Structure 1
Amino acid sequence: MRRSADIDALQDVLCAALGSRAPVCSLTRLGETAEAFTGADAAVLERPTLVGGGSPYHPSSPAPTAHAVEELVRRAAALDVPQILVPQVRRGEDTTALRAAGLVPVAAGSECVVRLTGEVDEVLRDRVGAGQLSDLRRRHRAVSREVGWERIPLGGLDGAPWARDAFVELHRRQAERHGGRHSLYNADALDTLAHGPLADRTEMFVRRRGKAVVQAGLLTTSHNGRGVYVLTQAVDHGDPAARHNLFVASLYRLYLHARRSGLDWVHLGRGDASRMRRLGADLFVPLDHWLRAPGRTPSREEEREPALSEFAAPPVTTVPVPGPARFRHVPRFDQIDLSSNTNPFLGADGHYPELDTAELARIYLATLAKLPGHDGVGALDADHLLFTSGAVDGVLLLLAALASPGEGVCVTPPTFPLYDHFARVLRLPVTEVPLHGDDLSRLDTEAILAADPRVTFLCDPNNPVGTRLDPAQVRTLVAESRGLVVIDEAYVEFSEKPSYAGWVAHHDNLIVLRTLSKAWGLAGARCGIVLAQPGITDALRRVQVPFGFTNASQRAVRDRLTHSRRVLAAIRRIRAERDRMARLLADHPAVARVFPSETNFLLVRLHKHERVTEQLAAAGILVADVGRLIPDTCRITIGDRRANTALLEALSAAL
């Protein structure tokens, strides 16, 4: 509910509930809203307060304009009310006027939204897993066998007095159970809502056992017609159906109803994020209550973007995040968007992709933290992560955002060639400091530090060699380098040695690149990840093209992360097949050497390099010829057993 007309309508409902002409009451009268102030002194909780800009009925309140705040202050003075409360303002909106008027934010949790991006069961299976989905469906079936489900348009409530009375009684009992003396959903409040401008978009849902109502709530369709808000619901906890958790069972029923009605989302209101995730919520918007009270010191700080990293290139510090990406933390799901010049008549694909990927970042980091060798990842949050169009996009972004013409880039050949390629395209001088040692796994740290590069690229595990670098050398380089150290971990899931991702929280100059193209099997989704300090990810975002991470890719990533057991099982199979192939190739007469590998490929030196690669091509088998980097070698990806057998047969035919 983002319209001023809706706010005014709900202000009238609050006045009716309070039995007053103005929305003035103590904080303790506001039910769940008051929970955020439990640590305040008694005077703050009991002092008369003008509730403005919205009401406790709102899913959230738009941050009021300067004019609206001035009017609120004048009204409080005219009413001789010492406190002002603007509840449930979305964090990230422009709250300059609130701060200037002396209001102080108090954290109020998050509003939780379930986005319906497909059929309900498919969506929930991807988000909560098959087990939790089965539990939701079981509860829904059990409740549906015992109690009915009815929806009554609020404008027609006069014809259903039994529903009105039951709704009021259940909410009165709910308020008492939570320690409140008064329910904000009393008869006067409900009647005012039923005869106000929101009545045509609001309906009551009830569940009955015979004539006894065991659950009642309110649903309001958003003014953009794309979703529904669950304003409230109350349950008779003494009814036998309550053992199945009526709240949960009814939400599943509501998802089905919303999907059949062509709606895109269901707004669950405020709640515990971990619990709501288990119910399918995938958008969480932090909220603050804004309070002006005697004796509370207002904060005069203006809200700013986090400070950019000192490594940001000078031009990047003078430009903002481009276009709508600036508002990625201000969701638009419940607004009418007439700003994007898109076609409204051809379905969901006519909308631009979601820009707020904070929840997906949380899922990725939580999944990563559970993997072996990822200690310290739990200290990272969504601000440490940027999604890119594959890891190679991250390479280009960081060079564009963090290096200026003339500043050097160091690469350690043999290595992934696009580091050098993108540096030269951006006119950045490149210094090559080759790897050494029998397995090409030793860094010349002294030479790298002597070159004093702005950016040093390390590929670990290395492509095309397959080996890991010495972690002591990497640690020395990160600690002593004056520039940035970028570690590309595209293949790290195939290694049994630790990742460097957890180091990001402790080193301002470290960037770790990851991808879902390799071990996670999502090359087609084009999803790369940059892990770095927030000041670095903010700098990269200023040069990133908006909307590059499509909704289809986001859904694919969420699905794969939710079903990570399949991925881990596939990694184990690849490791086993890699080791088997390494043994067989090492004994093959066409092969001079197989390099050790902690990836999903093997670097192989051939006796008759040109002849063998030509024979493989003639047999319809494509391998990567890396002879220009490492003489007489090719890189062989580990395929399935059939593909690997075909490779061995083709090698034998080449002799």
Structure 2
Amino acid sequence: MTLKELTRPNIWALEPYTCARDEFKGDASAWLDANENSVITGLNRYPDPLQWEVKKQLSAVVSVAPENIFLGVGSDECIDLCYRVFCRPGIDNVVAIDPTYGMYGVCAGINDVEYRRVALNNDFSLDSDALLAATDANTKVIWICSPNNPTANAFPLQQLREIASRFGGITVIDEAYADFSTHGTMAGFLSEFPRMIIMRTFSKAWAAAAMRLGIAFASTDIINLFNKVKYPYNINLLTQRQALQVLADKDHIRQVAAQIVKIRNNLASELESLPLVEKVYPSDANFLLVKIKNADATGVYRYLCSRGVVVRNRSRVKLCDNCLRVTVGNETENKLLLNCLNEYNAD
């Protein structure tokens, strides 16, 4: 299908809201277009609606051209836009691996779009044929989180390329945790797959979750569709300023990610040595999926909560029976976690 055929007809035909700052390029001598308060406070002007300074600086970090970048209010806005742009409510469907990040399914429900789950293999690997077999003429999007949440594993780039080449709709690769993985990124294949969207975030390796800034890489045609549908000034000025500070030291970003990987590996070894732990699954992310012995994950979870240590109980998630998902914390947090688990085992 062409991009026009994949896009909801009303969105393709939509005349978006535009402001003078979408049209004007350069430095203005007087901003008299937006009915702002002219009293200078530093916050009296609307922000750049397309965040070009942030995109230019981000481009230097991720090696993706600014015109191929969309910024959203968290990755959740990017996820929601995929439904609003491509999926006709009550008609179209999407396909996703299972288990995976829960917001794909939540946004499907909000947008009245059928959500089809395809189970991963028992070792958390991905069956490409099964995934594609679940699609039909009304499947607009395939969701693949890699590294995946909550299983923590990344899928081979060649397998992701194969899926993107075989699927006629929009293939979304959510790479929120890619900075912690050695598998690499699909960003270098954007030109090869014009119907592919890659999602990233400031929330994980870049240590800026409080900013709520998500990223989508895609063809300029898809970016233009997203810009059509987003709210005019979706990223506020304070967030844009903070993003520029975060991006100013790209070497520091890489160093922090490498440090977290080292801490993750040490934490995995310490958890595996505990008598109550049956298995710590390999991780390409900044968290560990930990299987608890004797079907006691819920008991361990409740005990940790009682001690003020909050993890995620994933026991009811497909393929994650009796598992806890543990984020890699700082030295103090990790030590407290291990002490509590040792105490629980002693009790």
2:116 aligned residue? 431
On the 8 A contact 1:605/1:633 being kept in 2, the answer is yes
Aligned: 1:312 with 2:2 = no
2:305 aligned residue? 617
Secondary structure class of the residue paired with 2:342 = helix
Secondary structure class of the residue paired with 1:604 = strand
Choose which of 457, 478, 481 in structure 1 pairs with 2:164: 478
1:50-61 map, 5 Å = none
Aligned: 1:467 with 2:153 = yes
Give the letter for the 1:441 counterpart. Answer: S
Give the letter for the 2:337 counterpart. Answer: L
Give the letter for the 2:311 counterpart. Answer: V
d(CA) in 2 for partners of 1:603 and 1:335?
56
On the 8 A contact 1:391/1:527 being kept in 2, the answer is yes
How far is 1:558 from its partner? 1.3
- Quick one: higher RCO (CA 8 Å, sep 6+), 1 or 2? 2
How far is 1:359 from its partner? 3.5
Give the letter for the 2:330 counterpart. Answer: D
Give the letter for the 2:94 counterpart. Answer: V
d(CA) in 2 for partners of 1:526 and 1:555?
13
1:33-182 map, 5 Å = none
Choose which of 315, 324, 329 in structure 2 pairs with 1:634: 324
Q: What is the TM-score normalised by the length of structure 1?
A: 0.50
How far is 1:601 from its partner? 0.4
Aligned: 1:355 with 2:49 = yes
Give the letter for the 1:643 counterpart. Answer: E
How far is 1:447 from its partner? 4.0
On the 8 A contact 1:484/1:511 being kept in 2, the answer is yes
On the 8 A contact 1:390/1:528 being kept in 2, the answer is yes
Give the gaps of 5 or more residues in structure 2: none
Q: Is the alpha carbon distance of 1:612 and 1:424 closer, same or farther for their aligned partners in structure 2, counting shifts above 3 Å?
A: same
Aligned: 1:599 with 2:285 = yes
Secondary structure class of the residue paired with 1:493 = helix
1:383 aligned residue? 67
Secondary structure class of the residue paired with 1:645 = helix
How far is 1:390 from its partner? 1.1
Q: Is the alpha carbon distance of 1:443 and 1:625 closer, same or farther for their aligned partners in structure 2, counting shifts above 3 Å?
A: same
On the 8 A contact 2:96/2:117 being kept in 1, the answer is yes
1:240-319 map, 5 Å = 310-319=5-14
1:203-602 map, 5 Å = 310-324=5-19, 327-331=21-25, 333-345=27-39, 347-369=41-63, 380-405=64-89, 406-438=91-123, 440-452=124-136, 453-602=139-288
On the 8 A contact 2:176/2:204 being kept in 1, the answer is yes
On the 8 A contact 2:100/2:150 being kept in 1, the answer is yes
How far is 1:592 from its partner? 1.2
d(CA) in 2 for partners of 1:323 and 1:442?
42
d(CA) in 2 for partners of 1:555 and 1:442?
39
Secondary structure class of the residue paired with 2:190 = helix
How far is 1:356 from its partner? 4.2
d(CA) in 2 for partners of 1:450 and 1:605?
30
Q: What is the TM-score normalised by the length of structure 2?
A: 0.92
On the 8 A contact 2:202/2:213 being kept in 1, the answer is yes
Percent identity over the alignment is 26
How far is 1:327 from its partner? 4.2
Secondary structure class of the residue paired with 2:6 = coil
- CA-to-partner distance for each residue in 1:327-367, whole Å, 9 max, x for gaps? 42524742433332333336121211122423421221221
Aligned: 1:643 with 2:333 = yes
Give the letter for the 2:28 counterpart. Answer: D
- CA-to-partner distance for each residue in 1:440-492, whole Å, 9 max, x for gaps? 12234334244232100000000111001133322221011011110000000
d(CA) in 2 for partners of 1:308 and 1:534?
12
Secondary structure class of the residue paired with 1:352 = coil
Secondary structure class of the residue paired with 2:232 = coil
Q: Is the alpha carbon distance of 1:329 and 1:364 closer, same or farther for their aligned partners in structure 2, counting shifts above 3 Å?
A: farther
Give the letter for the 2:100 counterpart. Answer: T
How far is 1:595 from its partner? 0.7
On the 8 A contact 1:460/1:467 being kept in 2, the answer is yes
Secondary structure class of the residue paired with 1:350 = coil
On the 8 A contact 2:157/2:183 being kept in 1, the answer is no
On the 8 A contact 1:410/1:457 being kept in 2, the answer is yes
d(CA) in 1 for partners of 2:159 and 2:269?
30
Give the letter for the 2:183 counterpart. Answer: K
d(CA) in 1 for partners of 2:301 and 2:324?
8
How far is 1:552 from its partner? 1.4
Q: Greater CA radius of gyration, 1 or 2?
A: 1
Structure 1 residue ranges, 4+ long, deviating more than 4 angstroms after superposition: 307-310
Give the letter for the 1:426 counterpart. Answer: N
d(CA) in 2 for partners of 1:625 and 1:344?
51
What RMSD, in angstroms, separates the aligned Cα atoms of the two structures? 1.8
On the 8 A contact 2:7/2:86 being kept in 1, the answer is yes
How far is 1:507 from its partner? 0.8
On the 8 A contact 1:312/1:536 being kept in 2, the answer is no
d(CA) in 1 for partners of 2:297 and 2:102?
21
Secondary structure class of the residue paired with 1:424 = helix
2:344 aligned residue? 654
d(CA) in 2 for partners of 1:311 and 1:361?
26
Secondary structure class of the residue paired with 1:482 = coil
Kindly tell me the number of residue pairs found equivalent between the two proteins. 337
